[in-house]
């Protein structure tokens, strides 16, 4: 049976003009196809139909993307876990900001926090930022995705946070100056 399958594969693989294919039945009753008939064996020539051919086509070239461009935009990029209804009480001005990001951060990309229009801290691949010694009052925060070259690729919507701190210059509670 194996030789019949091999013979059939040869028959299909060879173009009709390349060789003549012969068919015969071996001693075990298996049908065999071959391009070289064995001596002393009754064979029958097989007429093959022309094979179908398809011309290969060059694929349409897609416009090349810059090497640093993300394959897809981030569908979710937002600051989360910030107080929205009240001021953040932080006597030393320290708090954490988290970033929700989908899909995951792409290789070569990093995140950066922008506070009041200025980059804050170092770019990172961790989706949270530690803010320290922030002044009291309102601050506008934005998360940025940076490319390999450090250039911004995408920004989150701005979020506003109000920080409440005890002023160092305020008089003591017991009324003494």
- Three-class SS of residue 102? strand
* pLDDT at residue number 89: 81
Ranges of residues in the chain with a pLDDT under 50 are 16-17, 68, 70, 170, 172-177
Do 83 and 21 share a structural domain?
Answer: no
* pLDDT at residue number 1: 59
Do 143 and 103 share a structural domain?
Answer: yes
Q: Confirm whether 170 is domain-assigned.
A: no
- Alpha-carbon gap, residue 144 to 99, rounded angstroms: 10
- Three-class SS of residue 137? strand
* pLDDT at residue number 8: 56
Q: Confirm whether 175 is domain-assigned.
A: no
* pLDDT at residue number 163: 87
Q: What letter would DSSP give residue 143?
A: E
Q: Confirm whether 67 is domain-assigned.
A: no
Please give the tally of structural domains in the chain: 2
Q: Confirm whether 135 is domain-assigned.
A: yes
* pLDDT at residue number 176: 46
- Following CA atoms 163, 139, 116, 128 in sequence, which dihedral angle do they give, to the nearest 10 degrees? 70
Strand blocks (E) in 53-134:
76-80, 88-89, 95-102, 110-115, 118-124, 128-131
Do 146 and 80 share a structural domain?
Answer: yes
- Report yes or no on whether pTM surpasses 0.75: no
Q: Confirm whether 9 is domain-assigned.
A: yes
φ, ψ (nearest 5 deg) of residue 96: -115, 140
Do 145 and 84 share a structural domain?
Answer: yes
* pLDDT at residue number 175: 46
Q: Confirm whether 156 is domain-assigned.
A: yes
Q: Are 127 and 105 in contact (CB under 8 A)?
A: yes
Q: Confirm whether 71 is domain-assigned.
A: no
pLDDT, one tens digit per residue, over 46-91 is 888 888 888 887 777 656 655 545 455 899 999 998 876 777 787 8
Domain containing residue 31 = 2-46
Question: What's the CATH code of the domain at 115?
Answer: 2.60.40.10
- Alpha-carbon gap, residue 110 to 150, rounded angstroms: 8
- Alpha-carbon gap, residue 75 to 17, rounded angstroms: 57
């Amino acid at each position: 049976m194996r030789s019949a399958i091999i013979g059939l594969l040869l028959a299909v693989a060879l173009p009709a003009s390349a060789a003549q294919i012969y068919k015969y039945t071996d001693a075990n009753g298996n049908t065999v196809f071959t391009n070289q008939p064995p001596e002393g064996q009754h064979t029958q020539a097989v007429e093959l139909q022309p094979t179908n051919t398809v011309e290969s086509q060059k694929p349409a070239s897609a416009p090349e993307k810059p090497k640093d461009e993300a394959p897809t935009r981030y569908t979710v990029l937002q600051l989360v876990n910030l107080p929205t209804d009240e001021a953040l009480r932080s006597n030393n001005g320290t708090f954490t900001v988290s970033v929700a990001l989908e899909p995951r951060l792409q290789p070569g990309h990093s995140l950066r926090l922008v506070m009041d229009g200025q980059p804050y801290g170092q770019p990172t691949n961790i989706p949270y930022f530690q803010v320290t010694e922030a002044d009291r009052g309102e601050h506008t925060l934005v998360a940025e995705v940076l490319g390999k070259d450090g250039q911004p690729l995408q920004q989150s919507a701005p979020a506003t946070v109000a920080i409440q701190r005890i002023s160092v210059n305020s008089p003591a509670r017991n009324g003494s100056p």
